[in-house]
Structure 1
Amino acid sequence: MVATPLAERMRPRSIQEVAGQKHLLGPEGVFTRMVESKTIPSMILWGPPGVGKTTLARLLAESTKRPFKTLSAVSAGVKEVREVIKEASFAYGTILFIDEIHRFSKSQQDALLNAVEKGIVTLIGATTENPSFEVNSALISRSQVYVLENLKKEDLLQLVHRALSQDVVLKKKEINIKEHKALLRYSGGDARRLMNLLELSVEAAKKNEKDELLIDDDLVALIAQEKAVHYDKKGDAHYDIISAFIKSIRGSDPNAAVYWLARMIEGGEDPKFIARRLIISAAEDIGNANPTALIMANNCMQAVHFVGMPEGRIILSQTTTYLASSPKSNAAYAAIKDAQKIVKTTGDLPVPLHLRNAATSLMKELGYSESYIYPHNDPQGFHPQEYMPESLEGKIIYQPKQNPREQEMLNRLKNMWKNKYNY
């Protein structure tokens, strides 16, 4: 008899045991309120693999004691959908969970619409893809979309400690995890991968002088790399290759970038995943050094979606080599990071009166918007006035880099603001 995998043995049995997702599962989280009120709306759970989408769906159903049906979009067709809907019409309140709902065709998704709208089923769909691109807008409009996040370091460590202390197999063993770095790195925020890697590491570990099974980073890395030889696009190497791909673009090496692109294509990677990463790279690594890069990347996403594979590889290659060959600037990326840090440090600074919205007569009496000067009244479209909260006056957040495009922007800013920001 084959033993149940650790990941399955450690699957949470209550909402309280689910790791991470504090924005949904905290004391005031929306899922917590659903469990308390026993009211579950139709929803789409969007997030990376291994963060608990399937588990959450099952636990929400169990908390309300409602019938729970599951379908996989990989294997189910319109016929199976209609059969479940027919059964649900005789079992009020049925929750229908559809894994990888983004793989459903338009006709399959349309088959759900009427049942969801009439309340015959409460739909919980799970997807790793952006619902805006992959799920019918009509179905989205009838559902709530909840974003699940990659598990954080503390969440992953909590899972490891819980497995060692509570799992029926592991708690009987003397296990010494000397280092956690490799376990966390190779898990990629995926709880399922973390449990699989932990289980394989325990099986491969040798006992030390204290008769403990010793697990260190070298052992975990060895296990992860051996596994990577046989993995598919959802395996560990997926994260290493996309990392190499983005870093090659960032490093302005189109030869390496297109090589890693080919590795992903030959490995069966989802082309839309690659296209989305190109969009992020265009904004994060190129930014205002070449604003056309973001337009190219966005058009690439649409074109790949429209054309499909294998021809889509040509569009991906064109965009990849263009981005890799473009001048680079992370100034916009750095600016938003710094701005968020300032916000967290300084809190909710008051908006200057002249920038506030004077929506009512009382607001006007209080001076809202009173001294605001409309820039377009000036022939140059600019009039110097204060836009920052008082305590941040003169604070530079966006710092253009040393490339022709941003230097042009910098000169314009200097000319307009003179000595205000000391550019």
Structure 2
Amino acid sequence: MDELFRQELDPKRIPLAVRRRPTSIAQIRGHEALTGNDGVIRRSIEGLSPFALVLAGPPGVGKTTLGSLMATERRARFVSLSATTLSVKDIKELAANGQRLRELGEIEPVCFIDEIHRLSRTQQDVLLHPVEDGSFSLVGATTENPFVTLSPALLSRVEVVRLSPLSDGTLDELIRSAVRDEEMEIGDDVVESIVAHANGDARAALRMLERAIGAIPRHQGVMPRIERVPYIPEAIGIDRSSHYEMTSALIKSMRASDAAGAIDWLAHLLVAGEDPRFVARRLCIFAAEDVGPDVPDALLFADATYSTVERIGMPEARIVLAAAVLRLSEAPKSRRAIDAIDLAMTRAATSQRQQVPPHLRGSITQIEARYHGSPSQPE
């Protein structure tokens, strides 16, 4: 009966991003330094020992594809899991199955854990032993900073591999190749528009291209030509990795008194969707840490900025933040406050407990000292 309803799936109904997925490591574009003969990906595939990698990078740069192809080229079983649904029991079962395969003389499986940053500390601790003894090869994928989200114990057992956003040239090549295979033509301005809005994300680029393909009319005997993209998405929200990097760029530009550069990074943060209150909090810290006590109104200005931003919100908050960034960037810099407190805290932490001198004690303490220290009265 099932045969009556079983049909061959039309390849055109499979999403373009899936159809264009590489089928071998050699087809990977944009990460040649990692997949070449001396790259860490190639060395892991060809090595005899199990490997443990964490691929860290923004969406759409090929983390899942790389994990799958590493298993394919290693001729190992590929187990794809998500940290959002993974349990401690799953990890233990996977380790036991991997051990059985090794005892049978087979290659241990490659375990791919998507969003590995979402694993709890307990789950990460359970991973430690099977990763260390090679029960399976591990490929973790994360869009966040693994040095922040993963435990030091797990980090010591894995190699973190950074995947950068795909270059404009790589995305241009990817789009034109897909258009050729679809037997179509495309305008250069359309390619440029897709590349600009994809922001280094191959999946996003192919989704936009697919919408453009679906919107053009077809005429018999005429090669279809893509002249526009019917829908351009708004700016992609900030991921935590970019969050840290852009914030660092803003602070370092201000520290260098580069007001133009600081404004540029402020704009990047706001366009990417950063919470303006977070930026205002960072400005308060900067005012105390980098401008310091020599410009006493700097901290007051930053504090007023935070209060105003919290009251009015976006989009007007952008003007308030810009004013504060310019003011703090152009202010004289002094780290006297942070240097003084850090040095004093180091002395306090490394010295024995210090008694407060009598002349610095409060009045109540002095009264107690006189009471307890007075000579005893004869009975």
User: TM-score interval w.r.t. the shorter chain?
Assistant: 0.5 to 0.7
Counterpart of 1:123 in 2: which secondary structure? strand
The answer to whether the 8 A contact 2:143-2:241 is kept is no
Q: 1:319 aligned to 2:282?
A: yes
* Larger-Rg structure: 2
Deviation string, structure 1 residues 26-63 (Cα, Å, up to 9, x no partner):
34323233344465521111111111111111111111
Report the CA distance shift for 1:39/1:10 in structure 2 as closer, same or farther (over 3 A).
farther
Provide the C-alpha distance between the structure 2 equivalents of 1:276 and 1:135, rounded to a whole number of angstroms. Answer: 18
Structure 2 matches for 1:250-265, cutoff 5 A? none
Amino acid at match of 1:97: F
Provide the C-alpha distance between the structure 1 equivalents of 2:163 and 2:98, rounded to a whole number of angstroms. Answer: 28
Q: 1:26 aligned to 2:36?
A: yes
1:288 aligns with 256
Deviation string, structure 1 residues 360-398 (Cα, Å, up to 9, x no partner):
xxxxxxxxxxxxxxxxxxxxxxxxxxxxxxxxxxxxxxx
Provide the C-alpha distance between the structure 1 equivalents of 2:241 and 2:201, rounded to a whole number of angstroms. Answer: 21
Provide the C-alpha distance between the structure 2 equivalents of 1:209 and 1:4, rounded to a whole number of angstroms. Answer: 24
The answer to whether the 8 A contact 2:143-2:240 is kept is no
2:119 to 96, 104, 109: 104
Query: How far 1:204 moved relative to its partner?
Result: 0.8
Q: 1:114 aligned to 2:125?
A: no
Which one has more relative contact order, counting CA pairs under 8 Å at least 6 apart? 2
Report the CA distance shift for 1:122/1:329 in structure 2 as closer, same or farther (over 3 A).
farther
1:194 aligns with 205
2:216 aligns with 205
Provide the C-alpha distance between the structure 2 equivalents of 1:62 and 1:44, rounded to a whole number of angstroms. Answer: 18
The answer to whether the 8 A contact 1:6-1:199 is kept is yes
Report the CA distance shift for 1:53/1:23 in structure 2 as closer, same or farther (over 3 A).
same
Amino acid at match of 2:64: T
Provide the C-alpha distance between the structure 2 equivalents of 1:91 and 1:199, rounded to a whole number of angstroms. Answer: 42
1:4 to 9, 14, 18: 14
Query: How far 1:206 moved relative to its partner?
Result: 3.6
Counterpart of 2:51 in 1: which secondary structure? coil
Provide the C-alpha distance between the structure 2 equivalents of 1:6 and 1:290, rounded to a whole number of angstroms. Answer: 44
The answer to whether the 8 A contact 2:50-2:134 is kept is no
The answer to whether the 8 A contact 2:145-2:241 is kept is no
Provide the C-alpha distance between the structure 2 equivalents of 1:214 and 1:81, rounded to a whole number of angstroms. Answer: 50
1:151 aligns with 166
Provide the C-alpha distance between the structure 2 equivalents of 1:31 and 1:8, rounded to a whole number of angstroms. Answer: 22
Q: 1:13 aligned to 2:23?
A: yes
1:238 aligns with 236
TM-score (norm 2): 0.63
Query: How far 1:316 moved relative to its partner?
Result: 5.2
Query: How far 1:329 moved relative to its partner?
Result: 9.8
Provide the C-alpha distance between the structure 2 equivalents of 1:207 and 1:328, rounded to a whole number of angstroms. Answer: 54
Counterpart of 1:62 in 2: which secondary structure? helix
Structure 2 matches for 1:68-147, cutoff 5 A? 68-92=78-102, 93-147=108-162
Root-mean-square deviation (Å): 3.3
Query: How far 1:21 moved relative to its partner?
Result: 1.0
Provide the C-alpha distance between the structure 1 equivalents of 2:48 and 2:169, rounded to a whole number of angstroms. Answer: 30
Query: How far 1:86 moved relative to its partner?
Result: 2.6
Amino acid at match of 1:191: A
Provide the C-alpha distance between the structure 2 equivalents of 1:94 and 1:149, rounded to a whole number of angstroms. Answer: 27
Counterpart of 1:90 in 2: which secondary structure? helix
1:63 to 45, 56, 73: 73
Report the CA distance shift for 1:47/1:33 in structure 2 as closer, same or farther (over 3 A).
same
Aligned-residue sequence identity (percent) comes to 32
Report the CA distance shift for 1:36/1:177 in structure 2 as closer, same or farther (over 3 A).
farther
Provide the C-alpha distance between the structure 2 equivalents of 1:39 and 1:196, rounded to a whole number of angstroms. Answer: 38
Report the CA distance shift for 1:313/1:177 in structure 2 as closer, same or farther (over 3 A).
closer
Counterpart of 2:100 in 1: which secondary structure? coil
Provide the C-alpha distance between the structure 2 equivalents of 1:288 and 1:77, rounded to a whole number of angstroms. Answer: 47
Report the CA distance shift for 1:214/1:329 in structure 2 as closer, same or farther (over 3 A).
farther
Amino acid at match of 2:256: N
Query: How far 1:188 moved relative to its partner?
Result: 1.0
